[in-house]
């Protein structure tokens, strides 16, 4: 069932003036909620073209969203036609956000084909198969960066480093006390039995590792904070769920050379270091190494080296940027794990995503941190 607000919003965009007005229009559907809580719908124009219609969150800056849209259009014109570009309003090609007042602000982007790597059972995939998809993603990210840099680039301290220092300091003031008596707190808050054991494991992990590793990571971030590095438009949240791959052979992981067919969800885009995207993408594969026992460290190193080597086929990436990238991987791995503990037990936030998705996220973060904690500097 498509709500009135979504149907009214759709009719504001080019190609949708004659869109169906029925709440159960053929081909239209609501997309399962993600962690951001944004309402997203798959909608189909009268010609059969599929689009993603999203209601912006209340905290979103419309001017920033419009700047993101301009960057996406530029990147598409530069050859990255697998990027989900925005539609414009009917009769106004300069506007890409529909403001419906009390019904919210909306954007419409192309519905991209393909499957994400998160659809594949991570317990059965081999390191070689995962590595091929990781490398293909790095190639796409490099192409995106190369195109985006032709629009705007500058030099300065990396905002992602400053953000992590601030978040690390904020968590350090309370995270260990939040983890105290975690089992009792989980029961008191009536946390879902699907989420509870994974959340408890996260609390144990944070309790064990925060005193030793948080200050080490902060020192590394402090060193990076004083460095001048290339900055440009980057995606920042480019993980396994946000890159789609063609699945012509019926199994994208076993394809000889996986092909990126879509890049989606640009809510987090801003000016930052390209290392932030590589850290997010490569870091999201490292947890796979844990399923290979004693070979985990070697597999993680192979993922890291292969991803950077592929990226450098298209974009330059200095040793300084590589060090920055690994610092972002380490800091994000620990901070992300602690964030979920803080959000659920301290802030008592509730998420519209399915409990199974939250549990899987906690499992992946626990495993990613385990691999990163044991790894040497890259």
Percent of the chain with pLDDT over 90: 73
Q: How confident is the model at residue 23 (pLDDT cuts 50, 70, 90)?
A: low
Half-sphere exposure of 195 (CA within 13 A, CB side): 19
Give the mean pLDDT of 14-33: 78
Q: How confident is the model at residue 248 (pLDDT cuts 50, 70, 90)?
A: low
Give the mean pLDDT of 40-53: 91
Tell me, what's the pLDDT at 152?
Answer: 93
Tell me, what's the pLDDT at 123?
Answer: 42
| 11-25, 133-147, 345-359: least confident range | 11-25
Whether the predicted pLDDT of 196 surpasses 90: yes
Tell me, what's the pLDDT at 353?
Answer: 86
Tell me, what's the pLDDT at 119?
Answer: 56
CB 278 within 8 A of CB 238: no
Q: How confident is the model at residue 247 (pLDDT cuts 50, 70, 90)?
A: low
**Kind of pairing between the strands at 50-55 and 97-99:** unpaired
Tell me, what's the pLDDT at 258?
Answer: 86
* N- to C-terminal Cα separation, the chain: 49
Q: Which of 18, 6, 21, 13 is nearest to 91 (CA)?
A: 13
Q: Which of 126, 112, 134 is nearest to 51 (CA)?
A: 112
Give the mean pLDDT of 345-355: 92
Whether the predicted pLDDT of 120 surpasses 80: no
| 25-29, 58-62, 63-67, 291-295: least confident range | 291-295
CB 206 within 8 A of CB 338: yes
Q: Which residues pair with 50 in a beta bridge?
A: 44
Whether the predicted pLDDT of 64 surpasses 80: yes
Phi-psi category of residue 377: left, alpha or beta, with phi > 0 → left and psi -120 to 50 → alpha: beta
pTM, two decimal places: 0.94
Q: How confident is the model at residue 343 (pLDDT cuts 50, 70, 90)?
A: very high
Q: Which of 139, 91, 78 is nearest to 310 (CA)?
A: 139
Task: Give 311-319 contacts, CB < 8 A, sequence gap 24+.
Answer: 311/138, 311/139, 311/141, 311/142, 311/278, 312/142, 313/139, 313/142, 314/139, 314/142, 314/143, 314/145, 314/146, 315/142, 315/145, 315/146, 315/149, 315/274, 317/274, 317/275, 317/278
Whether the predicted pLDDT of 253 surpasses 80: no
Give the mean pLDDT of 240-252: 75
Give the mean pLDDT of 356-376: 89
Percent of the chain with pLDDT over 70: 93
Instruction: Give me the chain's average pLDDT, please.
Output: 91
Q: How confident is the model at residue 38 (pLDDT cuts 50, 70, 90)?
A: confident
pLDDT tens for residues 265-275?
A: 999 999 999 99
Tell me, what's the pLDDT at 252?
Answer: 53
């Amino acid at each position: 069932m498509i709500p009135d607000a979504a149907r009214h919003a759709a009719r504001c965009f080019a190609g949708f003036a004659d869109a169906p007005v029925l709440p159960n229009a053929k081909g239209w559907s609501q997309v399962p909620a993600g962690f951001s809580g944004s309402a997203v719908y798959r909608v189909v124009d009268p010609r059969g073209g599929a689009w993603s219609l999203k209601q912006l969150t209340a905290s979103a800056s419309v001017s920033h969203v419009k700047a993101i849209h301009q960057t996406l259009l530029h990147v598409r014109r530069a050859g990255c036609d697998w990027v989900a570009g925005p539609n414009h309003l009917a009769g106004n090609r300069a506007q890409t956000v529909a403001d419906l007042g009390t019904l919210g602000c909306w954007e419409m982007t192309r519905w991209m084909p393909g499957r994400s790597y998160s659809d594949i059972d991570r317990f059965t995939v081999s390191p070689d198969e995962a590595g091929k998809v990781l490398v293909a993603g790095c190639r796409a990210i490099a192409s995106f960066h190369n195109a985006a840099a032709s629009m705007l680039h500058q030099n300065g301290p990396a905002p992602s480093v400053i953000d992590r220092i601030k978040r690390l300091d904020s968590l350090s003031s309370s995270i260990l006390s939040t983890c105290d008596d975690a089992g009792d707190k989980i029961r008191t808050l009536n946390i879902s039995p699907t989420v509870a054991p994974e959340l408890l494991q996260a609390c144990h992990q944070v309790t064990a590792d925060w005193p030793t590793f948080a200050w080490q990571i902060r020192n590394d971030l402090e060193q990076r904070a004083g460095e001048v590095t290339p900055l440009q438009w980057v995606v920042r949240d480019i993980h396994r769920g946000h890159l789609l791959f063609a699945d012509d052979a019926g199994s994208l992981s076993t394809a000889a050379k996986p092909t990126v067919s879509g890049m989606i969800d640009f809510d987090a885009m801003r000016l930052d270091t390209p290392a932030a995207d590589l850290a997010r993408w490569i870091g999201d594969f490292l947890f796979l190494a844990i399923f290979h026992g004693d070979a985990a460290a070697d597999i993680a190193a192979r993922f890291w080296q292969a991803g950077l080597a592929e990226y450098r086929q298209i974009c330059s990436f200095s040793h300084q940027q590589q060090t920055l990238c690994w610092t972002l991987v380490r800091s994000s791995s620990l901070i992300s794990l602690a964030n979920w503990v803080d959000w659920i037990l301290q802030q008592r936030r509730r998420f519209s995503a399915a409990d199974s998705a939250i549990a899987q996220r906690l499992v992946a973060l626990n495993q990613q941190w385990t691999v990163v904690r044991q790894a040497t500097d890259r």
